[in-house]
A and B are shown apart, each in its own frame.
Chain A
Amino acid sequence: MKKIESIIKPFKLDDLKSALHDLGVQGMTVVEVKGFGRQKGHTEIYRGAEYVVDFIPKIKVETVVADDLVDQVVETIMNTVRTGKIEDGKIFVLPVEKVCRIRTGETDNDAL
């Protein structure tokens, strides 16, 4: 099992949800986050004084999938949220040791 964390542009969330749903991904958790990457935010002017918006609003989508689905999910995420411009985001894939469904006590792949 792998946890796939995608940092994406907020307006891509709906598209990504549909695309993952179509793939058979059963659930996901979404967090509003802020952050920056290589281009380090952007500069604006407030009342004549410059300031930098370092931390750009992003959405982090977390989903845990069985090992055989990982490549397909990552590919789908990339194809769905890519605009080709800066700030498209990143995808992290992490190993998951154990999963439990609280209501039934099922574990691992049964719990996904």
Chain B
Amino acid sequence: MTRYDARLKPDNRSINLSGGEKPMRSILPLAVAALVTASAVPALAEEPGTGATLIHLAYSIDTFYFLMSGALVMWMAAGFAMLEAGLVRSRNTVEILTKNIALYSVACIMYMFVGYNIMYGGGPNGFLPGFGFLLGPDNGVGDVLGSAGEIYYSTIADFFFQVVFVATAMSIVSGAVAERMKLWSFLAFAVVMTGFIYPVEGYWKWGGGFLDSLGFLDFAGSGVVHLCGASAALAGVLLLGARKGKYAGGRVHAIPGANLPLATLGTFILWLGWFGFNGGSELKISNIEEANAVAMVFVNTNMAAAGGLVAALLLARAWFGKADLTMALNGALAGLVAITAEPLTPTPLVATVVGAIGGLLVVLSIVFIDKARVDDPVGAISVHGVVGIWGLIAVAFTNPEGSLLAQLTGIGVIFAWVFGASIVVWAVIKAVMGIRVSEEEELAGVDIAECGLEAYPEFTTNK
């Protein structure tokens, strides 16, 4: 069952608890004892089969934790949808919503069909992933009881938890290419990204591939998920070009978002979902050490977001003279991305600082990328790419087991693979079906051009 432990091994935490000689048997009763009343414990302990019952219970708790964490991460898709809908112009609202909910669905299907097997199927070597279709059966009761704690949660729950991550990576792309990319070209890219590009680099790290062996650390995916999404987005934006008028006359023009309440709601939703994203990536909660670790991950995740928001808000106020809400929102997300690579080992104060540095970086990066004429309407490349890199580098300083060289290698490999593969795929799609809507369609808004709908229809009559 190394397949399902791959995400545990690299960071070398949970495995210490579950990887020894039958450790689960001795640890599980402790965890479950906390759940029952003190008086019930002696009675329970004398019943025959108590050990098996406790394994049943621990398996249920860990599986339940996985499923609920996955559900929280699923909700992040709503966060991205609201954030992006808020930061585009109103005439492009329906289309960005369509992209967001459709990409989520495409990601789920592709990852079930082939992606999960590529990522976690084990491969001939650390570079080449395996290949297979659909999902296998779940664990049998006898297998779990006889595994000495090696198998401790449902493999189907594991699939569910992983599939929402690939959707997150793809969500990052939609914001960067918003307001000008063809809907169906985007979804065609989503098929390749979620079925192939993401799972391959995922295999290299969480599937037990060569990045894992190198000692590259990425707790919940600053690199595997966020840098990956941003790299694909950057490739797409470079081939796509800027929105009409964004850099007209050689100057950088602001294109204010249509609905900042939606963008703020989206950020709150992402913030909430991130507790599943990082908290769930601890992969286990059914004993005291693991429960404490999950608590620490929650607190650090929250602190980093808060640090990122405050830092970005202060920098925007100092630099631009006013409190730019959209920068503050990006700052919170930057804090979250930054801590995602290592939310367990830092103290809450250090986590706040890691997030705050992310918040400062994201403001600088958004302005710099804009000046470089790379049009990213929601700041996705800065939030997930630039700050994702920062988060991975920070691991070398916040985790005693981190190695700067391994982190930099991981960053280089993930960026090179995802950017390179993506730019080829985008180029093929561009040649075959085009990736950009016509100028007239862009000026009229892609809502009508691509979806035949308006977000807020007025003055319509029956035909």
Chain A residues in the interface with B (C-beta under 8 A): 44-51
Contacts and interface: CB of A to CB of B under 8 A. Distances in A.
B379 A47 contact: yes
Contacts of B322: 44-45
B212 interface: no
Contacts of B252: 48-49
B321 A47 contact: no
Nearest to A48: B367
Contacts of A48: 252, 319-320, 363, 366-367, 370
Contacts of A49: 252-254, 370
Given A47-B326, A49-B254, 11 more contacts: A46-B254, A47-B254, A47-B327, A47-B370, A47-B379, A48-B319, A48-B320, A48-B363, A48-B366, A51-B253, A51-B254
Interface in B240-254: 252-254
29 contacts: A44-B254, A44-B322, A45-B320, A45-B321, A45-B324, A46-B255, A46-B256, A46-B324, A46-B326, A47-B254, A47-B324, A47-B326, A47-B327, A47-B366, A47-B367, A47-B370, A47-B379, A48-B252, A48-B319, A48-B363, A48-B366, A48-B367, A48-B370, A49-B252, A49-B254, A50-B254, A51-B253, A51-B254, A51-B256
B320 to A, nearest CB: 4
A46 B327 CA distance: 9
A46 B379 CA distance: 12
A51 to B, nearest CB: 4
Interface in B289-331: 319-322, 324, 326-327
Nearest to B320: A45
Contacts, number: 35
B410 to A, nearest CB: 30
Interface residues of B, number: 17
Nearest to A52: B254
Contacts of A50: 254
Nearest to A46: B254
B308 to A, nearest CB: 16
Nearest to B366: A47
B386 to A, nearest CB: 15
Contacts of B253: 49, 51
The 3 A-B residue pairs with the shortest CB-CB distance in the complex, in nearest-first order: A48-B367, A46-B254, A51-B254
A50 B370 CA distance: 12
A44 B326 CA distance: 14
Interface string B353-374: 0000000000100110010000
A106 B324 CA distance: 55
A50 B319 CA distance: 12
Contacts of B324: 45-47
Contacts of B321: 45
A12 B322 CA distance: 26
Contacts of A46: 254-256, 324, 326
Nearest to B252: A49
Contacts of B254: 44-47, 49-51
A71 B344 CA distance: 75
Nearest to B363: A48
A2 B253 CA distance: 44
Contacts of B320: 45, 48
A45 B319 CA distance: 10
A67 B253 CA distance: 49
Contacts of A47: 254, 324, 326-327, 366-367, 370, 379
A75 B324 CA distance: 41
A81 to B, nearest CB: 27
A51 B252 CA distance: 9
A112 to B, nearest CB: 31
A37 to B, nearest CB: 22
A102 B321 CA distance: 54
Contacts of A51: 253-254, 256
A51 B253 CA distance: 7
A49 B363 CA distance: 12
